[in-house]
Amino acid sequence: MTAASVPAGERVAELVAQEAELVFPRFTHDDAWRLGSLLVEMAREGGAAVTVDIRRGGQQLFHYALDGTTPDNDAWLTRKARVVERYHASSLLVGERFRAKGGSFEESSRLDPDLYAAHGGAFPLRVAGVGVVGVVAVSGLPQVEDHALVVAALTRYLALPA
């Protein structure tokens, strides 16, 4: 089944479940470095030209642009990260919630689309007992693939021994 063929309510439920599962016990600067490096490694293995960005508390902790990316990817990262920071949910989940209601983020959010993009690829960094502390984001692939790369990296990272 493609993402477009899955009913919107099921997509929303799946994305909510991902966020409930992908929670850190803590998130440090070293975690940002290791997670960012893992994302770059996974992108290279998959031949994906992406830019990776990790932010915590308004501070950029990791940023890397693979060959084949452009400054436009940086702009997308910033717009998608703003959505996560505002809604405390992945940029894809926010967009899907608007679509599930029969509208679009651009039409219904009342936010400037030059500043906010509810397109997949930015994911909240959530710490157990604390909440959202930052954002990990990828730009360069179609939005569902950007999101899937981040989720795959988070899943792999959180399964590693501490």
What DSSP assignment string belongs to 7-42?
Answer: -HHHHHHHHHHHHHH-EES---HHHHHHHHHHHHHH
Q: Decide yes or no: CATH 3.40.50.2020 for domain 3-159.
A: no
How far apart, in whole angstroms, are the C-alpha atoms of residue 115 and residue 38?
Answer: 28
Residues 6+ apart with CB under 8 A from 27: 56, 125, 127, 133, 134
Confidence bin at 3 (pLDDT 50/70/90): low
Check residues 108 and 95 and name the one with the higher pLDDT.
Answer: 95
Residue 113 pLDDT greater than 90, yes or no: no
Residue 107 neighbours by CB distance under 10 Å: 9
Q: Is the pLDDT of residue 77 over 50?
A: yes
Domain boundaries, the chain: 3-159
Give the torsion through C-alpha atoms of 37, 38, 40, 42, to 10 deg: 160
CB atoms within 10 A of CB 79: 22
Q: Is the dihedral of CA 29, 69, 144, 106 positive or negative?
A: positive
Confidence of residue 66 (pLDDT cuts 50, 70, 90): very high
With a pLDDT cut of 90, the percent of the chain lying above it is 80
Q: Which residues pair with 65 in a beta bridge?
A: 51
Q: Give the pLDDT confidence score for residue 78 in this predicted structure.
A: 97
CA–CA gap between residue 63 and residue 92 (Å, rounded): 21
Instruction: Write down the H helix ranges in 46-137.
Output: 71-87, 91-100, 105-108
pLDDT of residue 150: 98
Greatest C-alpha distance within the chain: 44
Quote the CA–CA distance of 126 and 44 in Å, as a whole number. Answer: 26
pTM of the predicted model, to two decimals? 0.92
Q: Which residue has the higher pLDDT, 110 or 137?
A: 137
Amino acid at 65: A
Per-residue pLDDT tens digits for 122-161:
999 999 999 999 999 999 999 999 999 999 999 999 998 8
Query: Which one is predicted more confidently, 13 or 8?
Result: 13
